[in-house]
Amino acid sequence: MLVLGLETSCDETGVALYDTDRGLLAHALHSQVDLHAVYGGVVPEIASRDHVRRLLPQVAELLASAGAERPDAIAYTAGPGLVGALMVAGGLAQGLALVWDIPVVPVHHMEAHLLAPLLEDEAPDYPFLARLVAGGHSLLVLVRGLGDYEQLGTTLDDAAGEAFDKTAKLLDLGYPGGPAIAREAVRGNPRAYDLPRPMVDRDGFDFSFSGLKTAVMLKVGEAREAGTLDASRADLAASFQAAVVDTLVRRSLKAAEHAGVDRIVVAGGVGANRLLRERLAAAFPGSVYYPRIEYCTDNGAMVALAGALRLADADPSAAVRATARWPLTDLAPPGSRPC
């Protein structure tokens, strides 16, 4: 089966073709970062309009590049995400499916993220602990199998990516904040500022970034007042990044030990962070799996793969699904109930 995957949940337009026998055949991605950078964050209406402009031509180009006339099924991200943006892929998927008379599979964006490491040759076996760190969601999930998820921990306030983005704004580093902070941190001293690691010593596996964000805000305010922000920006970025990574790593190790798993999968945009990858790999005695960087942030390949694994959940209703909030734990194994 040849599955076309469409991703438009936020500010990336992603398309991909996944063959259930041969694996990923082709994928393409357009990032809207430049459109949103001037506003310091994603503007939903601008995101939807740009997806409308780009998605169909991108699909046509993808099919042509793979020498495919049409796929056998279409998967699209149905949530969680920006509703207007989600509707672009959903609308196109249902339209094309009607014309081509093929099944449509609505995909959960975070499930697609956590399955992304399966696109690699060295894919993890089940069970594994998924350390999901994206712009809107940060979760620690025990994955016993496809659709068999137990949420062990989550952020009580900002998601990890959100914390990076907000702190980058404070530091005048622009959008998106994660890569900007990582770049700036290279020149800084991660021990220059003693920043809090919120909740790491508490019971359970939840975490929080608001105390850390407030601590950075105070330091930035002091530096601004003293006229030393330019000189201390790299140290602040490095110290902040170290605190976030430390928090994520410590919570992940504790959860993996509790769940008794020797595999951790890191996925979602913040999974592109090199320090997080290095630290977790160094600290965890088991195996750590990452998708390659281009499959960490939003992309069509993970959606096509998730769709291919969930063909049993094709939606016969011809209705467009666009769900802003959709807990991962609402999912069930393929074919067991409508996802």
List interacting residues with ligand KG4 (CB under 6 A).
10, 134-136, 161, 164-165, 176-179, 182, 268-270, 272-273, 297-298
DSSP 47-65: HHHHHHHHHHHHHHHHHHH
Shortest Å distance, C-beta 159 to ligand KG4: 7
Write each residue from 282 to 321 as x if it is in contact with Zn ion (CB under 5 A), else as -, in one continuous string.
----------------x-----------------------
Which is closer to Zn ion, CB of 82 or CB of 102?
Answer: 82
Q: What share of the chain is helix, strand, coil (3-state, %, to 5)?
A: 45, 20, 35
Beta bridge partners of 264: 129, 288
Answer yes or no whether residue 159 interacts with Zn ion by CB under 5 A: no
Return phi, psi of residue 181, to 5°. -65, -40
Per partner kind, with CB cut-offs from 5 to 8 A, the member of Zn ion, ligand KG4, none near residue 242 is none
Contact 136, 125 (CB under 8 A): no
- Smallest separation (angstroms) from Zn ion to the CB of 79: 11
Closest by CA to 79, choosing from 274, 326, 259, 318, is 326
Residue 22 vs 325, nearer CB to Zn ion: 325
What is 170-222 written as a DSSP string? HTT--SSHHHHHHHHHTTS-TTSS----TTTTSSSS-B--HHHHHHHHHHHHH
Using CB under 5 A, which of 134, 139, 142, 212 touches Zn ion? 134
Q: Smallest gap, in angstroms, from Cβ of residue 296 to ligand KG4?
A: 7
Binding of Zn ion at residue 19 (CB under 5 A)?
Answer: no
Q: Which is nearer to ligand KG4, 247 or 297 (CB)?
A: 297
Q: How many alpha carbons lie under 13 Å from residue 143 in its C-beta half-sphere?
A: 27
Task: Please give the single-letter amino acid code of residue 146.
Answer: L
* Nearest distance in Å: CB 166, ligand KG4: 9
- Smallest gap from Cβ 178 to ligand KG4, in A, equals 2
Work out whether 11 is an interface residue with Zn ion (CB under 5 A): no
Contact residues toward Zn ion (CB under 5 A) are: 134, 298
